[in-house]
Structure 1
């Protein structure tokens, strides 16, 4: 890996100051540029978690591929699952470039996932027992993901931002797919409408947790570092308010009831007031103690182990031709 010649002859402290100056000027950092160790660590932590969450996020919807109510819906959700897996592979490739500096690769990411060292998103530890849940994931979970990913488009790390341009474009279609399911159920029978309300009741706490704890919570210790390095450009609470601004009116327009009696819009504060979710529960869920955590981890472990012979052949071929 080459070093940016701009930093040659500088002390570590001077390099970091020059690096921060580049970021403050709006320059993009590339994979072979010099970067501080904590910047690299934060990028790997974020991008690996994002990539793994895309892959793990395909699992609850994958369960509905054989059970979708029509052929049209089956093809749509199958295409969505394929897209999500593809997003995961793109993101893990970006993470691999950064990890090569430490002599690590994609296998290490999967091992960290299976061992519990690498976390995946809280929402993908949850159950999806009905077709309404599949719609809720595509509409509101993907809608929340779009808010996060659009915030990251202007990240200081160039390769991540470029990959996100493609991912964001495809996620819009995923959200529209979910919205179509939700609208169909909302205009359906009383039983279908009730299934929709039940799904919202199940998913609402996880959706509020989606963006992570507010600033000041000891779980969100990485937030300030990411903001200073401009890896991200908004706080968790900023994004949660963006989500509520966009989706609360849409949820209420469908005649659905949000399972939080405290939630209301404060015109003076110009923000939604709501009851904070249980952040201790959040910590338990992302610690792989959620309703479906172990089952989905076992599926990923089985896939990883079953494909070991393929990786061995590819590695041998690379050595032979390299």
Structure 2
């Protein structure tokens, strides 16, 4: 109460200065605390995109539930799909609390997705035609997600940081699930090993794109500066990409596999990996829902949302569809 009253007596500039002081001291911002509009909107966009990406990210693996090569693999990938859907629901709930003061609801998040105003992660617009893809998604895509999400475990926004603690713990199991599939294929026949190499060849560019462009000069990535300014995360896109390369290039090569980039090498002088830049114009087209599987995945999500409207209506306290 005293915090609210003191804020009422402050100018906008003083509120902002006090807010930044709290962040710099390591305080956690809660949903009912005062926050700058820029901070709130940055969080809404980030967490909504993250939540929707968890849901859309389950769809490529969902395709493999009925086609998994054994009952054990079927149970494993089914559990992973269920986890990803749960992550999405948890994050959308966090986003809802941020949207309440603006008079917005989860329904608007979903409609933003269906209209193309809310983007989902570039990797989940890609096809997964083989069991090698199912393994690679868990091994490398979820591995990239862990690197990104652990960077925000100490995010200044408390509800997001707490949600990420649970999500990251489960993502570790997902990465182990994917690695187990990859190792089984790597120790198998030449045909099975070829499934991994084919998947790496097709996914490598998307994996580099996963972290976003290095600078605003590429695609207008000023949002990374905003998230760092507000201590939502601490590392830049390029720092996260380099962490991924450091961790996974040796693992890929140790399996006798190759990476589809003849320019790839470790620059000892700069202390980082040099690599061929992905096509960032292609990246922009993909996240505009012009990727190989964008339409199919969105159509599936829209159909599921419409067919299950009765469940949301039954659960709504006032009988409204939300």
State the TM-score bracket (shorter-chain normalisation): over 0.9
**1:160 — aligned with what?**
160
Q: Secondary structure at the match of 1:225?
A: helix
Q: Map 1:7-26 onto structure 2 (within 5 A).
A: 7-26=7-26
| Structure 1 ranges of 4+ moved more than 4 A | none
Question: In 2, Cα distance between the equivalents of 1:98 and 1:227?
Answer: 19
Question: In 1, Cα distance between the equivalents of 2:22 and 2:99?
Answer: 22
Question: In 1, Cα distance between the equivalents of 2:275 and 2:39?
Answer: 34
Give CA deviations for 1:11-30 in whole Å, capped at 9, x if unaligned.
11111111111101111100
Question: In 2, Cα distance between the equivalents of 1:194 and 1:222?
Answer: 39
Q: Map 1:7-156 onto structure 2 (within 5 A).
A: 7-156=7-156
Asked if residue 289 in structure 1 is aligned to residue 302 in structure 2, the reply is no
Check the 8 A contact 2:213/2:237 in 1, yes or no.
yes
**2:186 — aligned with what?**
186
Runs of 5+ unmatched residues, structure 2: none
Check the 8 A contact 2:151/2:233 in 1, yes or no.
yes
Give CA deviations for 1:212-251 in whole Å, capped at 9, x if unaligned.
0112323312111111011111100000000000000000
CA deviation after TM superposition for structure 1 residue 180, in Å:
0.5
| TM-score, length basis structure 2 | 0.96
CA deviation after TM superposition for structure 1 residue 4, in Å:
3.3
| TM-score, length basis structure 1 | 0.96
**1:241 — aligned with what?**
242
Check the 8 A contact 1:227/1:234 in 2, yes or no.
yes
CA deviation after TM superposition for structure 1 residue 264, in Å:
0.5
Q: Secondary structure at the match of 1:69?
A: coil
Question: In 2, Cα distance between the equivalents of 1:2 and 1:210?
Answer: 43
Q: Secondary structure at the match of 1:272?
A: strand
Give CA deviations for 1:188-228 in whole Å, capped at 9, x if unaligned.
10111111100000100000000001123233121111110
**1:205 — aligned with what?**
205
CA deviation after TM superposition for structure 1 residue 2, in Å:
11
Describe the shift of the 1:147–1:4 C-alpha distance in structure 2 as closer, same or farther (beyond 3 A).
farther
Check the 8 A contact 2:59/2:297 in 1, yes or no.
yes
Q: Secondary structure at the match of 1:265?
A: strand
Give CA deviations for 1:234-287 in whole Å, capped at 9, x if unaligned.
100000000000000000000110000001111111100001100000000000
